Amino acid sequence: MDIRIGELRNEDVIILLNEHHEDMLSHSPPESSHALDLSALESPDVTFWSLWVNQELAGIGALKELDKEHGEIKSMRTSAKQLRKGIARKLLEHIINQANIRSYKKLSLETGTMDDFLPAQKLYQKFGFHECEPFGSYKEDPYSMFMTKNIV
């Protein structure tokens, strides 16, 4: 496994990001879909990673700095061929490690509430995330679950 910073303009990454956006829109109305587009992922306050297995894209994830002590996990997605192989776990470990390196005190995320999001919710819970109130600019939304974790 090889975790690379960036690679946003890689054709395979763009395809996976498009799949991510389409999937989010299939579960939520546009106003409730909070996936970042390519230009937002290139923002200076966002760090984007891609995980590769034998030169094949396996997953993506990003970390957005909300302030000097609080980060948000964005754009977590595993490619369909790599599901149930520990890719999301590896990316999540990497992002949490990066949050520690940056001395964040808190790491938060927004995920969906539909049954299709249960595996993601369970993964986050295994890593110590718990439900919380909306953070940042988010508002209460029946399609969104907000989770947070204090970083020690």
Residue 34 clears pLDDT 90, i.e. is over it: no
Mean pLDDT score of the chain: 93
In the prediction, which pLDDT does 4 show?
A: 95
In contact, 144 and 135? CB cutoff 8 Å: no
Does residue 55 have a pLDDT over 90?
yes
Q: What is the helix (H) or strand (E) element at residue 89, kind and residue range? A: helix 87-101
pLDDT at 32 (0 to 100): 82
> What average pLDDT does this structure show over 89-104?
97
Q: Which amino acid is at 64?
A: K
Going through the chain in order, the beta strands assigned E by DSSP cover 2-5, 46-53, 56-67, 70-78, 106-112, 130-131, 144-150
pLDDT computed for residue 29 by the predictor: 79
b/e code 89-122 from CB counts within 10 Å (16+ = b):
ebbbebbbebbeeeebebbbbbbbbeeebeebbe
Amino acid identity of 117?
Answer: F
Asked if 145 and 117 touch (Cβ cutoff 8 Å), the reply is yes
H or E element, residue 97: helix 87-101
Whether the pLDDT of residue 7 is over 90: the answer is no
How many CA atoms are closer than 13 Å to the CA of 123, on its beta-carbon side?
21
- pTM to 2 decimal places: 0.93
Asked whether the predicted pLDDT for residue 53 surpasses 90, the reply is yes
pLDDT(61) > 90: yes
Supply the pLDDT for residue 44. Answer: 96
